[in-house]
Amino acid sequence: MAVFKPENVEDFYEIGDVLGSGHFGQVRRVCERASGTCWAAKFLKIRKSACSRLGLERSGVEQEVEILQAIQHPNIVTLKDVFESRAEVVLILELVSGGELFDFIAEKENLLESEAIEFMKQILEGLGFMHSKNIAHFDLKPENIMLSDKVSPHPDIKLIDFGLAHRFHQGEEYRSTSGTPQYIAPEVINNEALSTAADILSGLSPFQDETDEETLKNIIALNYEFDAQSFSMTSSMAKDFIQKLLLQSPRSNRCFCLFQPITRKQAANRNRSSINMKNFKKFNARRKWKMSFNMVLMCNRLVQLRLPCKGSSDPDPLQRQCESDVEDTESKPASLLRRRLISSS
Ligand code: ATP
């Protein structure tokens, strides 16, 4: 069982700037008072009562902590410590200061396929390690693939956000419909029993459509094509690799092995192949815009959630019980949406 320290986190760490925010709270830079070393603290709101619509169940956070403790790997963010107060759990994590991989790439003039493969290799090493321990991430997406630092010319990949991750036990059937529409596997949408094979990722979602509903339909129908503009400079080996990842059934051996050039011609082709940066930059800008848009939607949902509490002259007892939660989140609207929508085993 993971140990959650009851002490006040601020007695040990000085709290600094916000590094990012997720559905359930903020991530802040913190500096350890004793050593001066900086870390990232993930503040997670905990649901106070069963009726509460706010925050996470403590058991979900315990799961995230236990999984992080089980997967210590150079390409996976490290968990140092956990603190717990009445309303919050704080995870002290390795500070990953290189930003998102996609932002790093979008700033480059050009990216060779061989460089992309080096990143891919590290992502697959991290993932492969998790999978060898029967743990699936279930929320693999560009925002959760970060780089170790901004100074090194070849920073390391760090996978983050294990909030949806799950450890499979022998013979267990696990279903979950949580995830991010563009990157979700067909078996998640179909509410089928899941396995680690659901951890698939493509940078430029080939299924992306006008609406989330259309996107999900495309995934189910395996409706995608290699858009001529985006893939004109991509080698046929790389396309073949992507096709093998995008198989409909998790049992059909989605390929996680890296594609190695066999012939000289293939090796030369790879060296000449590169990523279409113009398209990538466009895609990344659209992705960022969508993230901001989703944040606004979340805030609007928060406002809607709060209206009945405020407006009603005679709130029902359950609602009253939840009111203190609402006050707690005054300054953190993003922490309202539930991460685990439906999951069962
Ligand atoms: P989500 O709502 O996507 O599930 P979450 O609440 O689980 O998010 P994370 O995704 O873990 O939170 O973190 C939110 C953001 O905080 C990340 O996108 C990233 O920008 C930043 N962040 C998280 N962990 C770290 C870290 N170890 N070092 C630096 N920044 C981090």
21: in domain: yes
CATH number (domain holding residue 65): 3.30.200.20
In a shared domain, residues 88 and 117: no
Give 99's pLDDT tier (boundaries 50, 70, 90): very high
What is the sign, positive or negative, of the torsion defined by CA atoms of 143, 244, 164, 30? Answer: negative
162: in domain: yes
Give the mean pLDDT of 182-204.
73
In a shared domain, residues 57 and 107: no
Instruction: List the catalytic residue out of 81, 139, 227, 325.
Output: 139
Annotated binding site for ATP: 42
Out of 23-37, 56-70, 208-222, 329-343, least confident range? 329-343
The reply to whether the predicted model has a pTM over 0.80 is no
- CA-closest candidate to residue 188, choices 200, 196, 176, 197: 176
Question: What CA–CA distance (Å, rounded) separates 186 from 245?
Answer: 12
Give the mean pLDDT of 45-65.
86
Separation of CA 287 and ligand 1 centre (Å): 16
Give the mean pLDDT of 82-103.
94
pLDDT at 261 over 70: no
Q: What is the pLDDT of residue 212?
A: 76
Among the candidates 259, 274, 289, a domain finishes at 274
Better-scored residue on pLDDT, 233 or 119: 119
User: What tens digit of pLDDT does each residue of 314-327 get?
Assistant: 433 333 333 333 43
* CA distance readout (Å), 41 to 30, 88, 119, 248, 293: 6, 12, 26, 38, 25
Closest C-alpha residue for ligand 1 atom 13: 22
Question: What CA–CA distance (Å, rounded) separates 86 from 11?
Answer: 16
Closest C-alpha residue for ligand 1 atom 11: 161
Q: What DSSP string describes 94-120?
A: ----S-BHHHHHHTSS--BHHHHHHHH
By residue range, what is the domain housing residue 36? 9-93
Is 149 in the active site? no
287: in domain: no
The percent of residues in the chain predicted with pLDDT above 90, rounded, is: 32
Q: What is the pLDDT of residue 53?
A: 72
Q: CB–CB of 341/178 below 8 Å?
A: yes
144: in domain: yes
Separation of CA 157 and ligand 1 centre (Å): 15
Token output for 254: 């989605």
Ligand 1 pocket, CB under 6 A: 19-24, 27, 40, 42, 77, 93-96, 143, 160-161, 163, 339
- Rounded to the nearest 10°, the torsion over CA 30, 34, 35, 40 is -20
Better-scored residue on pLDDT, 274 or 154: 154
Closest C-alpha residue for ligand 1 atom 5: 22
ipTM score: 0.96
User: What tens digit of pLDDT does each residue of 6-17 get?
Assistant: 999 999 999 999
